[in-house]
Structure 1
Amino acid sequence: MHSRNPFNSAVVVNPLMRDFDALFRELGQPGFFRQAPRERAPAADILESEAGITLHLDIPGVDAKDIQVTVERDVLTVKAERKAQPLAEGVNVRRQERAQGAFTRSFSLPETVDATQVEARYEQGVLTLTLPRREESKPRVIEVKVQS
Structure 2
Amino acid sequence: MLKKRDEIFFSPFRSLLDLNREMGRFMDRFGDGESMPGGFRPDVDIVEKNGQLVVTADLPGMEEKDIEVVINEGVLIVKGERTEEKEETEKGFHRRERVFGKFVRQFALPKGADAENVKAVFKKGVLEVRIPLKAVAEEKKIQIEAK
- Range class of TM-score, shorter chain: 0.5 to 0.7
Separation (CA, whole Å) in 2 of partners of 1:107 and 1:89:
39
Q: Structure 2: where are the runs of 5+ without partners?
A: 1-8, 23-36, 138-147
5+ long unaligned stretches in structure 1: 1-24, 139-148
Residue 38 of structure 1, CA deviation = 2.5
Tell me, yes or no, if the aligned pair for 1:81 and 1:100 is still in contact at 8 Å.
yes
| CA–CA distance in structure 2, aligned partners of residues 116 and 131 of structure 1 | 9
Mapped to 2, the partners of 1:54 and 1:90 lie a distance apart of 40
Q: Deviations over 1:17-49 (max 9, x none)?
A: xxxxxxxx95x4442222257355211111112
Within 5 Å, give how 1:1-148 maps onto structure 2.
Answer: 26=10, 28-34=11-17, 35=21, 38=38, 40-89=40-89, 91-134=91-134, 136-137=135-136
> What percent of counterpart residues are identical?
31
Q: What is the Cα-based RMSD across aligned positions, in Å?
A: 2.5
- TM-score, L = length of structure 2: 0.66
- Do the aligned partners of 1:62 and 1:80 also contact (CA within 8 Å) in 2? no
Greater relative contact order: 1 or 2 (C-alpha under 8 angstroms, separation 6 or more)? Answer: 2
SS at match of 1:116: helix
Residues 114 and 89 (structure 1), Cα distance of their counterparts in 2 relative to 1, 3 Å cut: same
Q: 1:38 to 1:44 in 2, by over 3 A?
A: same
TM-score (normalised: structure 1): 0.66
Check conservation: 2:39, 2:101, Cα contact below 8 A.
no
Range with greater deviation from structure 2 (80-89 or 54-63): 80-89
Q: Partner amino acid for 2:86?
A: P
- Tell me the secondary structure at the aligned position of residue 116 of structure 2: helix
Query: Which has the higher Rg, Structure 1 or Structure 2?
Result: 1
Name whichever structure is richer in helix by fraction.
2
Structure 1 Cα separation of the partners of residues 90 and 116 of structure 2: 51
